[in-house]
Amino acid sequence: MSKVACIGECMVELKQADGGLFSRGYGGDTLNTAVYLARLGVGADYVTALGDDSLSDEMISGWAAEGIGTKLVARLPGKLPGLYMIQTDDKGERRFFHWRDSAAARSLMDLPQTPEILNSLAGYDVIYLSAITLSLYGGEGRARLFAALKGAREAGARFAFDTNFRARGWPDLDVARAVFQEAFAAADIVLASTEDLLPLYPGVTNEALLARIPGAEVVLKLSEPASIVRLEGVPYPIKAKPVEEPVVDTTAAGDSFAAAYVAARLVSADPLEAARAGHRLAGVVVCHPGAIIPRAAMPSGLVPNHANSRKASP
């Protein structure tokens, strides 16, 4: 079984319910991707830090129930996971409030066990992380992570970078742009979107956004249900099939796209086929409330067993 390491942060989620009450769960962008990877039959391990509290125990149990490996989760005495609250409007769209400055996950690159965790990345087929992941760590921590990614790639792993951008995580946009360029240069696969990149590079065209990304395999998701897949400098437009049900919540559309794309590439699907798989899963996810849809709603036959490949699988 192919193995993917997803690096990031999962937080406690308080979601608005009826009568002014809130229900409790958990979520995070790379964790959402790990869940969908596991459901698509990919061996996914989550790489993060949690506390030694009951909420962190609950997260570990929930991830294991989804088939996600937790051997690279550091447990920190006296620490807690981050917290976010969701308010939902009458159209189903969400507004987020975060409490995460002292969350355990932010310490992941500065622990006694950090070298062991980073060295283990060389044993994976794909290492997946997002810009939100990179925003968690300081400059020295990011340098350690990028050095580990370089070593893992030299050992045969592939690095997939998702541009999931949240301005609140980057008080200095010049720092954000520099980190993005470093990630672009290091990545084998870049999963980008105009929604993420235009706040960093306002007023530029899709072609100009793609020109900022030097990689050989780049996906740029557009504001409309479509994307551009660039392979070895050649752009290929991909249109998503129309969504069959009403859109109720766009949360995790990009996270699920990434999971289907990576899962398809791991079985040597052509990148264009992989992008179609990504659009198909995202099109189902946005028709359900919340980031993780019911198992019964997962589309069948999403990832092909084999496909004619334009490039070798990652």
- Binned at pLDDT 50, 70 and 90, residue 20 comes out as confident
Phi-psi region of 67 (alpha: psi -120 to 50; beta: other; left: phi over 0): left
pLDDT for 307 equals 40
- Binned at pLDDT 50, 70 and 90, residue 306 comes out as very low
CB atoms within 10 A of CB 155: 12
2-6, 120-124, 278-282: lowest mean pLDDT where? 2-6
> Terminus-to-terminus CA distance in the chain, angstroms?
13
Which amino acid, residue 289? P
Active site residues: 255
In this structure, what token pair is assigned to residue 100? 């995460």
CB atoms within 10 A of CB 185: 11
Determine, yes or no, domain membership for 303.
no
Residue 89 confidence (pLDDT) above 80: no
Determine, yes or no, domain membership for 88.
yes
Burial of residue 153, with CB atoms counted within 10 A of its CB: 0-12 exposed, 13-18 middle, 19 or more buried: middle
Determine, yes or no, domain membership for 313.
no
pLDDT for 91 equals 65
From CA 118, how far away is CA 111, in angstroms rounded?
Answer: 11
CB atoms within 10 A of CB 287: 16
pTM for this model (two decimals): 0.93
The kind and range of the H/E element at 227 are strand 226-231
* Domain range enclosing 191: 3-297
Phi-psi region of 26 (alpha: psi -120 to 50; beta: other; left: phi over 0): beta
Mean pLDDT computed over 124-144: 98
Percent of the chain predicted with pLDDT > 90: 80
The kind and range of the H/E element at 191 are strand 189-193
Contact indicator for 228, 222 with CB cutoff of 8 Å: yes
Determine, yes or no, domain membership for 137.
yes
CB atoms within 10 A of CB 180: 24
pLDDT for 71 equals 97
Determine, yes or no, domain membership for 311.
no
Determine, yes or no, domain membership for 219.
yes
Determine, yes or no, domain membership for 310.
no
Average pLDDT, the chain: 92
Total structural domains in the chain? 1
Greater pLDDT, 310 or 120:
120
Phi-psi region of 276 (alpha: psi -120 to 50; beta: other; left: phi over 0): alpha
CA distances 273 to 10, 11, 122, 163, 310, Å, are 30, 33, 27, 21, 10
Q: What is the pLDDT of residues 62-73, one digit of tens each?
A: 999 999 999 999
Contacts of residue 314, defined as CB under 8 A and 6 or more positions apart, other chains included, come to: 125, 126, 158, 160, 188, 189, 262, 265, 266
CA-closest candidate to residue 200, choices 230, 169, 229: 169
The kind and range of the H/E element at 87 are strand 83-88
pLDDT for 86 equals 80
Q: What is the pLDDT of residues 175-224, one digit of tens each?
A: 999 999 999 999 999 999 999 999 999 999 999 999 999 999 999 999 99
Question: Helix or strand or coil: residue 107?
Answer: helix
CA-closest candidate to residue 260, choices 191, 310, 200: 191
- Location of structure tokens 């740029």: 220
Give me the CATH number covering residue 249: 3.40.1190.20
Greater pLDDT, 98 or 238:
238
- Binned at pLDDT 50, 70 and 90, residue 312 comes out as very low
Determine, yes or no, domain membership for 304.
no
